[in-house]
Structure formats: structure tokens, C-alpha cells
Structure 1
Amino acid sequence: MARPRGFQEERAVEAAMRAFWAAGYEATSTQDLCAATGLGRSSIYNTFKSKHDLFERALTWYMEQKTGALLELLESDLPAREQLRTVLDWAVDTETDEPVGCLVVNTMVEMAPHDPGIARRLDRDREVRLGALRAAIEAGQRAGEIDATRDAAALALFVVTTVSGLRVAARGGADRATLSMIADTAMTAI
């Protein structure tokens, strides 16, 4: 009995996401996508309209997973400072089976400047993350964990920018000790 098409598409999107994450959009060839997904060239183009379409699906999947995990954490009962520390720790201690860095950050640099559709997707995701972080910071301010005189929106931007910087540093070869030192310093600024 054949597997349902939806299952195959989901698996192919996840495999393609890892290929794009590791090498970037331009450097990932159709042959690389065939190797990653286990699909033939014709199957890829019959299932997905184009390499760009597959990339958009992979980016969306990535953002749903990563932003979903962030929202779940920020809606938890953990104290706000612990939530923020966990966000930074996720950037320090990446899963060993994941490519280094961040697909969103890579895409911001590689594609957003010349692809308005991708830029809009990234902006929407960023706004969701910033809103959730700001709400967590404001809750921490109300609870007395975070200085109430600080601008919660600015602190949310600081956290997002620090996480992006940690991802870039990791991709550039920074070791865990260096990344941890950056995260520790960031926590003193919050």
C-alpha cells in the first residue's frame, strides 16, 4: 500500500528544509534536493512547482516549528527571566542533528534583500516573535523580575538580535563556551 501523498510531501519538505538550512538557497541544487528528499527530479517538480516553491514551504515549516516552540515556552508558567534565559540557551545549545545556524537568519541575509515575498514572510514571523517576547518581558516587569523602567519593546528587539547573532557566531565556528559567554552577558543587560 502506497503512503499518502501528504506524508511524502511533509517528509520531503523537512528534508529540503535541512538542505537549504545547511547550504543556503542558491547553493542547494535540484540534485541536492533529490538526494536529500529521496525523490526524483520529476517527482519534486510534480509535487512542488519550483525550487522556490519548495523553499517557501520549507521556510514556513521551519518557522512554524521554531516559532511554535518559542510561543509555547513564553506562554508557560516559568518566570520571565527563566524564559528569556531558555531562549538564549536554545541558541547556544543547538540540537546536534540540526545544521548550524538558523534558516531564518540565513534567509534574511541571502534572500530578503531581493525577494519581497520572502521578506514579508520573515517580517510576519519576526513580528510574532517580538510580540511574544515583549509580552513575556512586560509580565516579568509586572512581577518585579525585570526593571519596569526599561522599554519592553527594545528589550524584545535586543533578545531577537542577540539570538540572531548567536546563530551567526555558531555558523562562523564559535564554540559553546563563547556562545555561552555571549548569552550570559545578554542576561545582564535584560
Structure 2
Amino acid sequence: MGRPKQFDPDTAVAQATEVFWRKGYADTTPQDLIDALGIGKGSLYNTFGSKRALFERALEHYRDNQAAALTGLLDRPGPAKERLRTALRLAAEANLADPDRRGCFAVNTAAALGGADAEATASVRRMFDRTESAFEAVIEEGQRAGEIDRGRDPKATASMLLSTLIGMQVLSKTAEGSERSMRTIDAVIDSL
């Protein structure tokens, strides 16, 4: 009979997410994961199978947490445009408040592995699709309320917001302040 696991796999995935986010997939070694998770090599491989499998779980963990946070912001009561503005502003502020300027784990993964790694590309695409759908729902709500121009294509507008969010994630890695991001957010939301 095997010994019981001495760690919580969900906590380990959250810890691994931080390592992959900070270092990227290619630069994260199994030893980095073992050290961060405080587990043995056997436990790492017996529980997760491989570094790659743990990376996929880390991406899913990040995607689910980010989607829940965004949905929570967008589902609040109030005018649609202001909910969209708030969601974008909070994302920009969170990026700028990060002393390591890690940006977005999904965007970083897309830049490093997108197109070259089918599984990572599909995982990030699912996150982007989920985010775009959340934006689209709020845009349609704003159109029904007469807040957002009904002549705008909701899907195209949601794509614009997603592209704005992704661009801000990249810019935050080198930004000295929030002025550019806030100007961009206001210009995009005001154009609706």
C-alpha cells in the first residue's frame, strides 16, 4: 500500500502557476517546481505525470480564476459601459501593481508558445474566447439599454475590447505609470 499524499494537489497547481507565470514554460525546470511545491520528484510525477501536464493544469487554473474575476466584475449592477471600463482599469492597475511585471500568464504563453505548441495555443484561445464572450454579453446588454450604439457589431466590439486588454497586458511590462493604459481605456469605452 502506497503512502498517502503529503500535499494538496490543488494548492500545488496554484503554486506551480506562480512558477510558470514568473519563469515561463521553457525556463521552468522540474527542480524549480519541486522546490516551489515542497514535494519530492516522485510525488510531482506520480500526481501530475509530467512538467507538461502540470503546465496545462496551471493554465487551466489561471484561466478559471481570471474568468471568474472578470465575470464577477462584469456581472455587477450598473451601466454596461462603466462595468467594461472598470474591468479594464482594474486589469491595468493589477498589472502595474505587480512588482515583477509578469503581465498576463495567458498572453505570455501565447507570445512564447502560440502557434508552435498546439495544446498551449488551444488553452490560451479558450481563455481569450471566454473573455471575449463575457465582453460581448455586456455589450449586448448595453445595446438593449440604449447605452451602447445598436449599430455596432457586438462580436467585433468584444474583439476590440479583448485586443485592448491583451495590448495593455504587454504594455504593462514596460510602463512607468498608468496614464497610457487609462487614456486607451477611456478612448475605447467612450467610442462605444
TM over 0.5: yes
Deviation, 1:63, is 0.4
Deviation, 1:113, is 1.0
| Correspondence for 1:183 | 185
Contact 1:18 1:98 in 2 (8 A): no
Deviation, 1:165, is 0.7
| Aligned pair partner of 2:135 in 133, 136, 151 | 133
| Correspondence for 2:71 | 71
Distance 1:140 1:6, change over 3 A: farther
Normalising by structure 2, what TM-score? 0.87
- Rounded to whole Å, the distance in 2 between the matches of 1:6 and 1:186 is 49
SS at match of 2:119: helix
| Correspondence for 1:62 | 62
| Aligned pair partner of 2:173 in 171, 174, 185 | 171
Q: Percent identity?
A: 37
Distance 1:108 1:41, change over 3 A: same
| 1:155 matched to 2:176 | no
| Correspondence for 1:87 | 87
- Rounded to whole Å, the distance in 2 between the matches of 1:149 and 1:60 is 35
AA partner of residue 92 (structure 1): A
| Correspondence for 1:142 | 144
AA partner of residue 106 (structure 1): N
- Rounded to whole Å, the distance in 1 between the matches of 2:8 and 2:99 is 21
Deviation, 1:36, is 1.8
- Aligned pair count? 187
AA partner of residue 90 (structure 2): W
SS at match of 1:113: coil
Distance 1:20 1:76, change over 3 A: same
Deviations 1:99-152 (A, max 9, x none): 530011111111221221222222222222222211110110111111111111
Contact 2:89 2:185 in 1 (8 A): yes
Contact 2:74 2:87 in 1 (8 A): no
Bigger Cα displacement from structure 2, 67-76 vs 104-113: 67-76
SS at match of 1:58: helix
Uncovered stretches (5+) of structure 2, i.e. residues with no partner: none
4+ residue stretches of structure 1 with deviation over 4 A?
4-7, 95-99
- Rounded to whole Å, the distance in 2 between the matches of 1:54 and 1:19 is 11
| Aligned pair partner of 2:103 in 101, 104, 112 | 101
Contact 1:140 1:146 in 2 (8 A): yes
Deviation, 1:174, is 4.2
AA partner of residue 189 (structure 1): S
Bigger Cα displacement from structure 2, 63-72 vs 53-62: 63-72
Distance 1:58 1:67, change over 3 A: same
Distance 1:97 1:15, change over 3 A: farther
